[in-house]
Amino acid sequence: MARIAIEQARVLILAERAPKDVRSLGEDIMHYRLATALAALLLLVSSAVTGAQEVTLKGITSFAEKTLNSRSFERFIDMVNAEGKGKIRIDYIGGPKAMPPFEVGNALKSGVVDIANVTGAFYTNVFPESDAWKLTQRPMSELRKSGGFDYMAKLYDEKMNAIFLARQIGHTPFHVYLTKPITKPDLTGLKIRITPVYRDFFTALGATVVQTAPGEVYTALERGVVDGYGWPTAGIFDLGWHEKTKYRVDPGFYTAEVSFLINKTTWSKLDAAQRKVITDAAAKIEADSAAYEAAANTADIERMKQAGIQTIEFKGADAEAYLAKAYEAAWAGIIRQSPEHGPKLREFFSKPK
């Protein structure tokens, strides 16, 4: 491309010289060199004025488009495309209709997509420790200083060829939602829909577990394939699950995580200005997430009440035992899968004793 431009400029400059009969060979060579240098200079100046070409990144979300867990990614894309005009833009490919959620991790690793909105539980096939984000009991701002974030960032680099940009969901617990009541923390005899987030805990509570993507939950409830499911505090109205849900179990446990990741090879090709557009927008979303989630959770708790969804609440020592079991079962699972990194992550992520 640059070579063609230089050649064209050289032809134009050379056309300006004296008629052939009054030129020497030495003059011709000198003219040729001068023309080449001038053309290259012109090209340099014009690209410095116009800036680098606009780069387009392919963006995917692992949650349904325009639903709670995708909305902050959509806000992020809008910010990048507005701030990055002429420099960088994200082409939003969409959600699970474009790509199954459990394939997003591999697609990001291989560069089939450049940027993804996804939770660790959906790519344990690529990087088992990713599911440990749910066990953070310290804010991201603290983890970014304590070394906990850097420890994970190194694993993202090594295992996933990815860079972790921002955690857009990080202040919301998960719950058990049921179609049948329970009277104590015991799911014996119940079939519960899971992802890796809930597997160890629900199994420890005696449930029979069935793993599905969120897009299959409604049908599983409708057909009675499951008696309940795990999900964060907010979002059950997005896909109509409230129609089939009778109970929410409190307290909630863990802290849901949904984050933006970018392919490292893609990242390495961006210049400083393009990277700044991305990191500024990502930081803004992470900083806003607490307020964003609090509003969504308050609204959905009220909406569940209005919809007649009853709360089954464990209190006092029962609640404590329930939560202790949740963390114990999950850490045991993480450490079983990653004896090397699991214990380190537990130290970084757990609340001070």
Binding site for ligand 173 (CB under 6 A): 69, 119, 121, 169, 195, 197, 214, 230-232, 256, 258
Report d(CA 277, CA 220) in Å as an integer.
Answer: 41
Report d(CA 41, CA 233) in Å as an integer.
Answer: 60
Q: Which is nearer to ligand 173, 39 or 256 (by Cβ)?
A: 256
CB 249, CB 176: distance < 8 Å: yes
Q: Kindly state the smallest distance separating residue 60's Cβ from ligand 173, in Å.
A: 16
**Which residues make beta-bridge pairs with 208?**
191
Could you tell me what percentage of the chain is helix, strand and coil, using 3-state DSSP and rounding each to the nearest 5?
55, 15, 30
Q: Kindly state the smallest distance separating residue 267's Cβ from ligand 173, in Å.
A: 24
Q: Which is nearer to ligand 173, 249 or 256 (by Cβ)?
A: 256
Q: Kindly state the smallest distance separating residue 213's Cβ from ligand 173, in Å.
A: 7
Q: Which is nearer to ligand 173, 117 or 266 (by Cβ)?
A: 117
Report d(CA 268, CA 270) in Å as an integer.
Answer: 6
Query: What is the three-class DSSP state of 21?
Result: helix
Q: Kindly state the smallest distance separating residue 242's Cβ from ligand 173, in Å.
A: 15
DSSP E strands, the chain: 55-61, 88-94, 115-118, 162-169, 174-178, 191-194, 208-211, 228-232, 247-253, 258-263, 310-313
The backbone torsions φ and ψ at residue 36, rounded to the nearest 5 degrees and listed phi first, read: -65, -45
Would you give the distance in Å from CA 241 to the centre of its chain?
Answer: 24
Q: Kindly state the smallest distance separating residue 99's Cβ from ligand 173, in Å.
A: 15
Ranked by CB distance to ligand 173, the top (closest) residue is: 195
Tokens 């949650």 -> residue: 63
Q: Kindly state the smallest distance separating residue 256's Cβ from ligand 173, in Å.
A: 4
Q: Which is nearer to ligand 173, 10 or 175 (by Cβ)?
A: 175
**Which residues make beta-bridge pairs with 163?**
262
Q: Which is nearer to ligand 173, 119 or 130 (by Cβ)?
A: 119
Q: Which is nearer to ligand 173, 122 or 322 (by Cβ)?
A: 122
Q: Which is nearer to ligand 173, 84 or 105 (by Cβ)?
A: 105
Q: Kindly state the smallest distance separating residue 339's Cβ from ligand 173, in Å.
A: 24
Burial category of 124 from C-beta neighbours within 10 Å (exposed 0-12, middle 13-18, buried 19 and up) = buried
Q: Which two tokens stand for residue 237?
A: 């109205």
Q: Kindly state the smallest distance separating residue 270's Cβ from ligand 173, in Å.
A: 28
Q: Kindly state the smallest distance separating residue 45's Cβ from ligand 173, in Å.
A: 50
How many other CB atoms are there within 10 angstroms of residue 76's CB atom? Answer: 24
Q: Which is nearer to ligand 173, 256 or 261 (by Cβ)?
A: 256
Q: Which is nearer to ligand 173, 105 or 214 (by Cβ)?
A: 214
- Name the DSSP letter for residue 340: T
